[in-house]
Amino acid sequence: MKKIVNRAEFEALIERYESITIEDIENEGEFCYRFTIMEITGFGSRLSCSLCQPTATKPREFNCDLCIWSSVEDSHSQKDIYCSFHETYKNIAFADYPQGLLRAVKARAKYMREVLNKFDHENKKDNN
């Protein structure tokens, strides 16, 4: 079984994404919506990401292999930063209006829930 250090943070981030409303996005009032979601959730920077923080081996040094995202099969084509390989990441990063960002965040939460369920299923199977 692979060592993962941020399962609880992953689940909390899913719940945060699921709870975001259009009002949350519009209240941030940013011109660039990537900064809006960064302000709300820490998205887009290892220094602010709630999933990256538990993987820190030293200040400002992160071990992505300890992240739950590294357990996703499709991510293995990536050398590093497993979390950014999926289209849901790119859709958030490049959203250009509030409704588009909200749709992208909800799609990311749905995908993350699938990843979490698969991770839990695999680990349950490995423990039996």
> Residue by residue, what is the 3-state secondary structure of the chain?
CCCCCCHHHHHHHHHHHHHCCHHHHHHHCCCCHHHHHHHHHCCCCCCCCCCCHHHEEECCEECHHHCHHHHCHHHHHCCCCHHHCCHHHHHHHCCCCHHHHHHHHHHHHHHHHHHHHHHHHHHHHHHC
66 or 34, greater pLDDT: 66
Average pLDDT over residues 14-35: 83
Q: Could you give the 3-state DSSP secondary structure of residue 106?
A: helix
User: pLDDT tens digits, residue range 47-81?
Assistant: 999 999 999 999 989 998 899 998 876 655 555 56
Least-confidence region, from 30-34, 40-44, 55-59, 64-68: 30-34
Predicted pLDDT of residue 125: 74
Average pLDDT over residues 117-127: 84
Question: Is a pLDDT exceeding 60 seen at residue 108?
Answer: yes
Query: How does residue 27 score in pLDDT terms, banded at 50, 70 and 90?
Result: confident
